[in-house]
């Protein structure tokens, strides 16, 4: 498998892991039925890829920091950790998540009916 196709497969796996973790997260507490159901599904999707579980956990924590969805994101991240995320990698991905959230905030909302597409900020 080429490097490009391996990276693409990793991106698809990260997307699947994010969806599964988010779906099982209760938003209030990481423990409980949601986490218990999430762990086997996340392990099945990730296989032995603790690095991808760490990526998902860190991105969720970083991206949703100080938002209304922070508790749910932390619960989803806990599910990834319980499924075997490499905890040493999570801080790096938290920084990436914070950076992505900051970049997303720079994109101006579209004005209704303006008929123009705003230019993308240089930071994105």
Cα separation, 31 vs 9, whole angstroms:
30
- The mean of the pLDDT values for the chain is 87
Lookup: tokens for 32: 């409980």
| Residues 52, 58, 64, 68, CA torsion sign | positive
CA distance 56 to 70: 14
- Is pLDDT at 118 greater than 60 in this prediction? no
Instruction: Name the pTM for this structure.
Output: 0.81
Identify the residue with better confidence: 8 or 4.
Answer: 8
> pLDDT tens-digit profile of 23-81?
998 766 656 666 788 999 999 999 999 999 999 999 999 999 999 999 999 999 999 99
């Amino acid at each position: 498998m080429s490097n490009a196709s391996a990276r693409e497969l990793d991106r698809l796996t990260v997307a699947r892991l994010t969806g599964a973790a988010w779906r099982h997260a209760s938003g209030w507490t990481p423990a409980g039925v949601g986490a218990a159901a999430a762990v086997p599904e996340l392990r099945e999707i990730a296989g032995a890829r603790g690095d991808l579980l760490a990526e998902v956990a860190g991105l969720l924590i970083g991206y949703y920091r100080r938002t209304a969805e922070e508790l749910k994101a932390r619960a989803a991240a806990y599910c990834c950790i319980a499924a075997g995320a490499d905890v040493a990698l999570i801080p790096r991905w938290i920084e990436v998540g914070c950076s992505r959230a900051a970049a997303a905030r720079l994109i101006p909302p579209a004005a209704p009916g303006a008929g123009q597409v705003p230019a993308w900020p240089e930071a994105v």
